[in-house]
Amino acid sequence: MTKLIAVLGDQLSHDGAALRCGDKSADVVVMAEVREEATYTGHHKQKLALTFAAMRRFADELERDGWQVRYTKLTDDDNAGSLVGEFARRAEEEGADEVITLAPGEWRLRQAFESAPIKIRQLPDDRFICSEKRFADWAEGRKELRMEWFYREMRRETGLLMEGDDPAGGEWNFDKQNRKPAQPDLFREPAPTFRKDALVQEVLEMVEAEFPDNFGSLDEFNWPVSRAQAERALEHFIAHNLHDFGTYQDAMLAGDRLLHHSILSSSINLGLLSPLEVCKAAEEAYKAGDAPINSVEGFIRQILGWREYMRGIYFLEGPDYTSRNALNHKRDLPWFYWSGETEMVCMKAAIGQTRDLAYAHHIQRLMVTGNFALLAGIDPRQVQDWYLAVYIDAYEWVEAPNTAGMSQFADGGVVASKPYISSGAYIDKMSDYCGGCAYDVKAKDGEKACPFNSLYWHFLDRHRDRFEGNPRMGLVYRNWDKQKTETREAKLKTAEALLEKLDRGEAS
């Protein structure tokens, strides 16, 4: 009997387990753009466009490779509107009694597939370096699930950047070399551009017509929509940007939105590139003497370490992970996260480029928009919903633990041993944002003081019972206690005025 092989929008890999178990001469591949997946969160317009364009390109490649493909476009009249509905419709058409697919990357979809009226067999997604079972085995019995220890084990298992039993360069982690601020550089190699052919143009027009009120702009859409384009983006990064990636990976510049970053996360998360091939390409550059160890190790750690670790945490912790709120933060997400209308230059820059590109790099996400949300006590679920909606590479398996765990400490310390918070001094050190800001990054209190400064101390003061005993935060509390009473009170008063302003819905 004919089998239906379902390929989801973030499973665009020709060697996935579902396709490997199919028979081109007898089985049918099903792909569908459906309203339910396009609207369960308010996806950035560019994410919708990238996903639909990449899906259509992949379907064309499958047909050229000899597969029978049944593809449903979003605006087709007979579109059932949901993946389960489309699978059932196609199964009836083809006389199939089972659908085979890779297990989705969200609990929401896995649960929907399990309760579907048609049998949907979910195969383990073997496109990741570490399987869910392998991660669970690693985590079993451990008191703390720290990424660094997981990362070292993955290095040993894959052999990446290993010299026998020892790490290349004599160290596991070269992060101390990767914290330098950057300077504007007219000669920094720009990102490659990708032609908007008829297929892409059709999708862009459809997204603008169907989702006119969604966040973001399509004007600067420039993402790889095929494996060939993704390979070109990888080659460009290795040749031009990997060398200085590590050194300046935490830097931020108002006039340079991409710096030396790879911009490959969307291609990897869609399945156009495999994480292992990307890591190996970076490793080869190190072996050839084309890139230093600090850059290559830092880049590989983001993929082999953080990416695989975040997925492991998401599925290990279970469906309730996204609802956790260990710090009991309940303030609504400020409107300026959507509008960009704020006098804080760092926030305006991060939100503005997110609107224009559906992209901001990890420090902008963690230490600017995420830092502000944590210091201000924003409801972590609302913060998660924002990150899931606005970024080109956001899927819940990677977005939720990065936000609930690393950024907002909502999981109570599963991911991070302490909150990732800072005053304005960190942003001033790592960026050129503060020089032109309406606020004074050196001022600690008063109307013109950088909001990050007073909010930092307010956060520490209100959560003292939880964090005072943290060995990594004791020095901070001792510094707080050394300050004069009137100094502490002035900072807390400034922070409370800012928070009252947020509660009134006013921009900061």
Q: What is the CATH number of the domain that holds 480?
A: 1.10.579.10
| Residue 151 included in any domain | yes
Whether 50 and 116 share a structural domain? yes
Q: Which two tokens stand for residue 478?
A: 């001792």
pLDDT, block means (10 residues), the chain with 508 residues = 93 96 94 98 98 98 98 98 98 95 98 96 97 98 95 98 97 94 90 96 98 98 98 98 97 96 98 98 98 98 98 98 98 97 98 98 98 98 98 98 98 96 98 96 97 98 96 95 97 98 88
253 forms bridges with which residues in the sheet?
A: 256
DSSP code string of 448-506: TB-HHHHHHHHHHHHTHHHHTT-TTTHHHHHHHHHS-HHHHHHHHHHHHHHHHHHHTT-
Closest by CA to 338, choosing from 186, 452, 166, 216, is 216
188 and 302 together in one domain? yes
SS3 437: coil
Looking at the structure, do residues 274 and 346 belong to the same domain, yes or no?
Answer: no
Q: Are residues 71 and 165 in the same domain?
A: no
- Domain limit, last residue, from 86, 105, 123: 123
Contact 124, 17 (CB under 8 A): yes
At 32, give phi and psi (nearest 5°): -150, 135
Nearest CA to 233 among 178, 270, 286? 270
CB 103 within 8 A of CB 131: no
Q: Are 84 and 116 in contact (CB under 8 A)?
A: yes
The CA-based dihedral angle spanning residues 34, 199, 225, 8, taken in that order and rounded to the nearest 10 degrees = 20
> Both 74 and 17 in a single domain?
yes
Residue 200 belongs to some domain of the structure: no
216 located within any domain? no
Same domain for 312 and 406, yes or no, is no
Q: What is the pTM of this model?
A: 0.96
Q: CA–CA separation, 370 vs 363, rounded Å? A: 9
The type of residue at 41 is T
- Domain co-membership, 149 together with 105: no
- Asked, for residue 81, whether it belongs to a domain, the answer is yes
CB 136 within 8 A of CB 316: yes
Q: With beta carbons less than 8 A apart as the criterion, state whether 473 and 467 touch.
A: yes
User: In terms of domains, do 267 and 348 share one?
Assistant: no
**What is the structure's pLDDT at 506?**
84
Beta-bridged to residue 166, according to DSSP, are 163
Residue 388 β-bridge partners = none
Residue 413 is part of which domain span? 336-503
**Residue 78: enclosing H or E segment and its boundaries?**
none
Q: Judge if 174 and 299 occupy the same domain.
A: yes
Do residue 271 and residue 404 come from a single domain? no
Counted domains in the chain: 3
Instruction: Find where tokens 């550059």 sit.
Output: 285
Are 430 and 497 within one domain?
Answer: yes
Q: How high is the pLDDT of residue 2? A: 84
CA distances from 325 to 148, 266, 310, 329, 492 (A): 25, 28, 18, 7, 23
What is the CB neighbour count within 10 angstroms for residue 446? 15
DSSP letter, residue 74: T
Residues in the chain: 508
Q: In the prediction, which pLDDT does 507 show?
A: 75
Question: Given 290, 317, 344, which residue is the final one in a domain?
Answer: 317
Three-state SS for 373? helix
- What is the SS3 assignment for 145? coil
202, part of any domain: no
